[in-house]
A and B are shown apart, each in its own frame.
Chain A
Amino acid sequence: MSLSRAFRGRGGPTNRRLPPGQYDTGRSWPVLTAEVTPRIDLASWTFTVEGLVERPTTWTWDEMHDLPSATYSGSVHCVTSWSKFDLTFTGVAVETLLNAASPLASASHVLVFCHTAYTTNLPLADVTAGRALVTWEVDGAPLPREHGGPARLVVPHLYFWKSAKWVAGLRVLAHDEPGFWEVRGYHNYGDPWREQRYQGD
């Protein structure tokens, strides 16, 4: 038996915009937390790009806001099965930050680190060419603390655990270094369209 007796899903005809196994969370935006939500003071907030770069660079909150603005409007997909559509994030493209620091030719990956103990890893190709933002504003308002404020990473083409909350910087590496959830059983890459939720998927 491969069907659940008497189950009537809400999906109906496949919603093309939903990756497999996801549901539309509508107007709510679930908060998933593994750690205590930090209180970060803007006056001491910084973002750093370090590691295999020509110019390790640190920006203050004001300096970050002086950089060219970038926006992402679209959907995000959480590994716990909810997807949220029509969010608009505003901030700075990760590419802008990387270009300022100038990764060396040997660079292949980044490890994202945060103002908490959280980390996550990404190939360089997944945070360039407009695929990732550092963002502090969502739908025209400051990013709420529980959603990663003052600033978070947004990498919308991958499961949302890659969009690290309370982001503090990127370490540029010539190897892949699995982050917090990746060493705890989650998939190393996390493509929602290939349903790469857990290791081995």
Chain B
Amino acid sequence: MNMPRLGRWQWATIVHIRLETPQVKTFRLSLAEPSPHLAGQHFLVRLTASDGSRAQRSYSIASPPSDGTEIELTVERLPDGEVSAYLHDELAIGDTIEVRGPIGGWFIWDGSTPALLVGGGSGIVPLMAMLRLARRTSEALAHLVVSVRTPDDLIYADKVCGPDTTVIYSHRAPDGARPAGRLKVADLTPLVRADATTYICGSTRFAEAASDLLVDAGVAAETIRIERFGPTG
């Protein structure tokens, strides 16, 4: 797969902000230098304080591949987050931030082969870019499984419904849904395809648990790609 060129630091303008859940926002950015990306990649965001000190973090791109003039980054506000707290609490439409990307050469999907997407909490973000890419055709090449604690934690709730998605509520489920409980092998077995690549994204604990379940469900370990960055635990 041809890797998009990794650009230099550039300025991006906030053109839209959407509150996904109480702690999660999606920022749509207009890029000064268009930077087309592949589904699964991320961007760096860098902040500079008046004393010159800097902080940078990576955020997955939620939007599917495009002409690269605009991207969507979904950011979870961490209680102790140096960068995420600033993005949530300070940024308004019209503000600019420094970004660099797209980055990522492993956890990427070009949409042409089957994919099983397994996300925990905010791990859904890069998987949503992949799902939105899959939905451009009628071939149903991707299926998303997302595990969240409660319905209040489900990011992109309006997009995560349909035959190509499975939502697992681990602590509190809505009426009529699968009863609350952790992701199990039985949830995954019907979705396993021998010709699929599996993409897992979430906390370390989730990634470890999910990969064990997937292997138990018959997925070959070498066909599993994992993405994990963010807070520990």
Contacts and interface: CB of A to CB of B under 8 A. Distances in A.
Interface residues of A, number: 42
Given A28-B232, A198-B6, A9 B56 contact: no
Contacts of B105: 181, 183-186
Interface in A59-118: 80-81, 117
A185 B57 contact: no
Question: How large, as a class, is the contact surface on chain B?
Answer: 35 or more
Nearest to B105: A184
A31 B228 contact: yes
Contacts of A7: 47-49, 55, 86, 90
Contact of A4 (B47, B58, B231): B47
B208 A5 contact: no
Contacts, number: 111
Interface stretch (A33-41, A44-52, A124-132): A33-41
A5 B91 CA distance: 9
Contact of A37 (B48, B50, B208, B229): B208
B110 interface: no
Contacts of A3: 48-50
Given A5-B95, A10-B82, A185-B104, A34 B48 contact: no
Contacts of B19: none
Contact of A198 (B49, B103, B231): B103
A34 B106 contact: yes
A31 B232 contact: yes
A201 to B, nearest CB: 9
Contacts of A34: 106-107, 225-227
A5 B87 CA distance: 11
Interface string A1-37: 1111111111111100000110101001111111111
B226 A36 contact: yes
Contact of B6 (A5, A35, A146, A200): A200
Given A28-B233, A33-B207, A34-B226, A8 B49 contact: yes
B78 interface: no
Nearest to A21: B56
A8 B54 CA distance: 9
Interface in B153-212: 204, 207-208, 211
9 contacts: A1-B96, A7-B47, A7-B90, A9-B55, A10-B55, A21-B54, A31-B228, A32-B229, A35-B222
Interface of A: 1-14, 20-21, 23, 25, 28-38, 80-81, 117, 146, 180-181, 183-186, 198-200
Q: Which 6 A-B pairs have the closest CB atoms?
A: A184-B105, A11-B53, A9-B53, A9-B49, A4-B47, A36-B221
Given A3-B49, A185-B3, 8 more contacts: A7-B48, A7-B49, A31-B228, A34-B106, A34-B225, A180-B106, A181-B106, A184-B3
